[in-house]
Structure 1
Amino acid sequence: MAVSLNKVFCDLSKLEPLDGTNYKRWSQKLLIFFEQLEIDYVLSQDAPQNETTADISIITLVGSSRNEIDETNRKFEKDNRTARGHLLNHMSNSLFDLFINQKSAKIIWETLEKKYGADDAGKKKYVVGNWLRFQMVDDKPIMEQVHVYENLVTEVLNEGMKMCEILQANVLLEKFPPLWNDYRNQLKHKKRDLSLQELISHMRTEEANRLKDKQISNSTSSVKVNLVESAGTSKNRNKGKEKNVKDHQRKNFTPRQNDHKIQKPKGSCYVCGKGGHKAYQCKDRKDQQNQNQRISSLGHKIVVERRVHPLRMMQVHQEMEPATNNLSRIIDYLKAVVITYYTQETLPNLLHNHSELFD
């Protein structure tokens, strides 16, 4: 029978080699491929036997020709080799070495079915253990892990163990990753029980919403980072400009003259002819000489008397007052005279009793 070239065959390049743990998936994919090639009959039929004399007589009576029989045998042998080659090429190295000497695809197929496909208590415990140990994590997409859970449930059901969908959904609810604990508690408060497919639909919607929120959060964080970086760049740029301005000002800086320094009057005094003072400050003025003489005479009176009575000090103070308008200067002079000539015992009493003279 000719094989149509328009058929699309499944790709076996990504088929995992048989290692004993994936027999059901492996066998189903190969069986689908053999059915597409229309050679799956070699897995269930024996090879044609050589005809005897009696068989030839029967064939002659029926009307079948010898050539048709030979054509059928050749086709079976060809299909057997094709199926055997695919079976061996998709096995692990240890199984390949075990079946390499077997020429019949039917025998290889039946041996694998008895070894890995037969129902036994050990296989049931194995698939149930995988189903119970399964746990979802946060660093993998949720829906991919849900598909793994569905495959584990299918393996349990294929072993003949019955399980309602409510139980399947409740077990999946306990497999949620840590970041989904709040959503799991929210689902537990629902009054109506969810089937497995309803729960998966809710999880798909929740995952889509979380991905959307994460994208918005990342976008906002990126904008903030860009603003901070641009602000820092602008600050550094302005800092460089300020530094250049300061350097330029430092280079062009010329010390200013001290404006607060007392400038001595230029020119000479017209009284004495000397410089450095003005005429009203000159000591050679007549009125200044008379004032100095009076201050000296008053100071001499105080020094001569030494133990002068406080009332006498007040009298001297009153006599000195009309002598000049420069009262502060006279008081400073008297203070100097008192401090110079009076003893340590008398001076404290004088300062205490007549403090107004020294204010």
Structure 2
Amino acid sequence: MSTPPTAPVPVHTVPAAPAHGKNPAKFNGADFKRWQQKMLFYLTTLSLSRFLKEEPPVIAADDTDTQRRSALDAWNHNDFLCRNYILNGLDDTLYSVYCSVNTAKELWDSLEKKYKTEDAGIKKFVVGKFLDFKMVDTKSVISQVQEIQIIIHDLLAEGMDINEPFQVAAIIEKLPPMWKDFKNYLKHKRKELKLEDLIVRL
């Protein structure tokens, strides 16, 4: 039995977001880089990320070419959507500051200019957190190893290059006082431990 022909898809529809495209939590001024990456992924699932880089098509005011006019209308419509998805991803106070920006690209660039410089301070904060971290005997070692792994992950996310042997050595060095003998045993092992092997041993 032959299948009936499907109806043609209208030309100017905006594709719906796939099930995995989830609107990121609202940006409140902290951790811009993470929010930006999530927002970029979200806009990509909506096929709107190109409007973060594109300038509007330029056509003369007296241009009557229907195709160029409809292309400009389609561009303006999609840029409007992209801009408003970004605005809706901002906390109410930031929304009020940025709602008058004209295009998605202008809005994206403004946010980047303002908050990327502030993120530079976060790098110093995360390094300080890593250096100050000390394990204690009153908490489980594995939960504390997970804490330090999160800090290391944040350092990597900030673009700091931390190789695996350094991560292993840092975790061994930060083991709590009651683990002193085991710490010395690990430090004197000739064979280099992998991070996964260390976690298994702990």
- TM-score using structure 2 length: 0.73
1:48 paired to 2:89: no
| 1:238 corresponds to | none
1:202 paired to 2:198: yes
Residue 115 of structure 1, CA deviation: 1.8
Where structure 1 has 5 or more consecutive residues not aligned to the other structure, the ranges are 57-64, 208-359
| 1:83 corresponds to | 82
1:24 paired to 2:33: yes
Classify the secondary structure of the residue corresponding to 2:27: coil
- Within the candidate set 150, 157, 163, 1:155 is matched to 157
Instruction: List per-residue Cα deviations over 1:159-195 (Å, max 9, x = no partner).
Output: xx4444322322232333566555434322312333x
| 2:20 corresponds to | 9
Looking at secondary structure, tell me which structure has more helix per residue.
1
Contact 1:42/1:106 (<8 A) preserved: yes
Residue 132 of structure 1, CA deviation: 2.2
Percent of aligned pairs sharing the same letter: 27
Cα distance between partner residues in 2 of 1:5 and 1:92: 24
Contact 2:59/2:68 (<8 A) preserved: no
Contact 1:130/1:152 (<8 A) preserved: no
Classify the secondary structure of the residue corresponding to 1:141: helix
Contact 1:23/1:117 (<8 A) preserved: yes
Number of residue pairs matched by the alignment: 188
Report the CA distance shift for 1:181/1:3 in structure 2 as closer, same or farther (over 3 A): farther
Q: Could you tell me which amino acid in structure 1 is paired with residue 112 of structure 2?
A: E
| 1:276 corresponds to | none
| 1:37 corresponds to | 46
1:176 paired to 2:175: yes
Cα distance between partner residues in 2 of 1:97 and 1:6: 26
Contact 2:26/2:91 (<8 A) preserved: yes
Superposition map of 1:306-321 within 5 A: none
| 2:115 corresponds to | 116
Contact 1:18/1:92 (<8 A) preserved: yes
Report the CA distance shift for 1:119/1:95 in structure 2 as closer, same or farther (over 3 A): closer
Cα distance between partner residues in 1 of 2:32 and 2:109: 12
Classify the secondary structure of the residue corresponding to 2:97: helix
Cα distance between partner residues in 2 of 1:7 and 1:116: 29
**Aligned alpha-carbon RMSD (Å):** 3.2
| 1:129 corresponds to | 128
Residue 144 of structure 1, CA deviation: 3.9
Q: Could you tell me which amino acid in structure 2 is paired with residue 202 of structure 1?
A: L
Cα distance between partner residues in 2 of 1:20 and 1:33: 19
1:95 paired to 2:94: yes
Q: Could you tell me which amino acid in structure 1 is paired with residue 42 of structure 2?
A: F
Where structure 2 has 5 or more consecutive residues not aligned to the other structure, the ranges are 1-11
Q: Could you tell me which amino acid in structure 2 is paired with residue 150 of structure 1?
A: I
Residue 80 of structure 1, CA deviation: 1.9
Cα distance between partner residues in 1 of 2:122 and 2:144: 28
Report the CA distance shift for 1:123/1:141 in structure 2 as closer, same or farther (over 3 A): closer
| 1:141 corresponds to | 143
Instruction: List per-residue Cα deviations over 1:258-283 (Å, max 9, x = no partner).
Output: xxxxxxxxxxxxxxxxxxxxxxxxxx
Report the CA distance shift for 1:87/1:77 in structure 2 as closer, same or farther (over 3 A): same
Contact 1:134/1:149 (<8 A) preserved: no
- TM-score using structure 1 length: 0.45
Cα distance between partner residues in 1 of 2:14 and 2:179: 52
Instruction: List per-residue Cα deviations over 1:210-242 (Å, max 9, x = no partner).
Output: xxxxxxxxxxxxxxxxxxxxxxxxxxxxxxxxx
Q: Could you tell me which amino acid in structure 1 is paired with residue 93 of structure 2?
A: S
Report the CA distance shift for 1:153/1:108 in structure 2 as closer, same or farther (over 3 A): same
Cα distance between partner residues in 2 of 1:42 and 1:4: 15
From the CA coordinates, give the structure whose radius of gyration is larger: 1
Contact 1:43/1:109 (<8 A) preserved: yes
| 2:70 corresponds to | 71
Q: Could you tell me which amino acid in structure 1 is paired with residue 198 of structure 2?
A: H
Deviates more, 1:129-138 or 1:184-193: 129-138
